Amino acid sequence: MTRLLSFVAWAAVLLLFSCGNRGRTASSLPEGGDTLELKYAENLEIVSYPDYRLVRLRNPWDTLKMLHTYILLDRDAPQPARLPQGTVVRVPLQQSVVYSSVHCSLLDELGMLQTIRGVCDLSYIQLPCIQEGHRAGRIADLGDSMNPDIEKIIELRPDAILLSPFENSGGYGRLDKLGIPLVECADYMETSPLGRAEWMRFYGLLFGREAEADSLFAQVERRYLTLARQVAGVEHRPQVFCDLKSGSAWYVAGGHSTIGRFYADAGADYVFRYIESSGSVPLSFETVYDKAREADIWLIKYNAPQDKTLRSLEADYAPYSGFRACREGQVYGCNTGSVPYYEETPFHPEWLLADLIKIFHPEAAGAQEWRYFRKLAE
């Protein structure tokens, strides 16, 4: 009982320091701030004031509203008497719960692995550092991200929880009542690869790695732009489509998604570029077949013990053989069970761009090895 009461008291204290404003209409900023220049991120705004930093996340599903506003305060400084409305986060974070392997990977690269105290969906996180941390008892397995173990989270007493928001999610249930700052990692809804990668500058601020994150992003940007320039003037742009049928639907990346931008920057024409969405859209197989049956190249991602072949792909679903790319052996697969595609590409888009250029324009790629994709064998 004493232990339970201490948890309740701790949560009550946190509530005093956390005030969210999710879903509010965009409003003007306080005067006297210094806005951090962001070149690519469309849904992120960072403004520095003498006593705090204000970070605003635009709602990617309703751009007239804010998804969340954060007030980043030095963890050792007294709280100012007057603050704008938002969720107060004491930085740098020393203990965190991180839902996504993507953000675990970034924190490891920024040298902040030791701050990760718990993760969700551990079986899907293929990072050796996270798996080893769990075996050693340093990182807790908090279960399913859609229904995390609240009691374990309370025991960990994290400074913040990093999670991914979804459209019309209706909030986070019991998590909303804990008083722990919820950092909504909406980077995946950016419309360009560099836009998503630039969010590392926000995460750097959270964990006291501002200089390291800025330096890393500058390297990523420089390499990405260099690669894109290599194919900017190509005459032939192959037609490409991606992914696989899932159940009764085929989830297609919208034309304004990071995937759509990847293909454009790699010198290809995405067959679904006309779809005005930055997320995924469910289509019927018939619709995909009608648009993509004559496409030059098909890219797929899957998780399997063995690499797929053209024969096994057709065995999965016989109508796949109707695509010209399948008939002509122009299918490239990424086995996410053996390569860290999801962990690396959001914050290292230059690595994926190099792969795509080698697929679309091998003459421009030289002898560089593929990192994620392989042409499917017969």
Residue 195 in domain: yes
Residue 185 in domain: yes
- Cα maximum dimension of the chain: 72
Q: Are residues 216 and 254 in the same domain?
A: no
Q: Are residues 303 and 348 in the same domain?
A: yes
Cα gap 53→355, rounded to integer Å: 38
Cα gap 112→135, rounded to integer Å: 18
Name, in order, each residue with C-beta under 8 angstroms of 317's C-beta and a sequence gap of 6 or more.
244, 245
Between 30 and 149, residue with greater pLDDT: 149
Split at pLDDT 50, 70, 90, the class of 180 is very high
Which of 194, 220, 246 is the last residue before a domain boundary? Answer: 220
Q: Are residues 187 and 263 in the same domain?
A: no
Between 168 and 332, residue with greater pLDDT: 332
Residue 187 in domain: yes
Cα gap 374→338, rounded to integer Å: 12
Cis status of the peptide bond prior to 92, with omega within 30 of 0: yes
pLDDT tens readout for residues 252-261: 999 999 999 9
Q: Are residues 259 and 162 in the same domain?
A: no
Domain range holding 134?
Answer: 9-220
Residue 229 in domain: no
Residue 347 in domain: yes
pLDDT at 294 (0 to 100): 98
Residue 259 in domain: yes
Which of 220, 245, 274 is the last residue before a domain boundary? Answer: 220
Is 26's pLDDT higher than 70?
no
Residue 230 in domain: no
- State the sign of the Cα–Cα–Cα–Cα dihedral 15, 16, 18, 24: positive
| CA separation, residue 71 to residues 17, 45, 110 (Å) | 10, 12, 22
Q: Are residues 151 and 253 in the same domain?
A: no
User: How many domains would you assign to the chain?
Assistant: 2
Q: Are residues 169 and 34 in the same domain?
A: yes
Q: Are residues 13 and 54 in the same domain?
A: yes
pLDDT tens readout for residues 230-250: 999 999 999 999 999 999 999
Domain of residue 188, CATH code: 3.40.50.1980
Name, in order, each residue with C-beta under 8 angstroms of 332's C-beta and a sequence gap of 6 or more.
297, 298, 299, 300, 359, 373, 374, 375, 376
Secondary structure class of 349 (helix, strand, coil)? helix
Residue 3 in domain: no
Q: Are residues 200 and 244 in the same domain?
A: no
Is 110's pLDDT higher than 50?
yes
pLDDT at 167 (0 to 100): 77
pLDDT at 2 (0 to 100): 42
pLDDT at 21 (0 to 100): 56
| Dihedral-angle region of residue 285 (phi above 0 means left; psi in -120 to 50 means alpha; beta otherwise) | alpha
List 298's β-bridge partners, or say none.
Answer: 241, 331
Which of 220, 252, 283 is the last residue before a domain boundary? Answer: 220
Q: Are residues 240 and 105 in the same domain?
A: no
Please report, rounded to a whole number, the percentage of residues in the chain having pLDDT higher than 90: 81
Please report, rounded to a whole number, the percentage of residues in the chain having pLDDT higher than 70: 92
- Helices of type H across 190-256: 193-197, 200-206, 210-230
Q: Are residues 99 and 134 in the same domain?
A: yes
Are the C-beta atoms of 115 and 107 separated by less than 8 Å? yes
Which of 22-28's residues contact partners 24+ apart within 8 Å by CB, and which partners? 22/66, 22/67, 22/68, 22/171, 22/184, 23/59, 23/65, 23/66, 23/67, 24/65, 24/66, 24/69, 25/64, 25/65, 25/66, 26/56, 26/58, 26/64, 26/65, 26/66, 27/66
Q: Are residues 213 and 240 in the same domain?
A: no
List 201's β-bridge partners, or say none.
Answer: none
Q: Are residues 184 and 52 in the same domain?
A: yes
Is 306's pLDDT higher than 60?
yes
Tell me what the pLDDT averaged over the chain comes to.
Answer: 91
Are the C-beta atoms of 121 and 52 separated by less than 8 Å? no
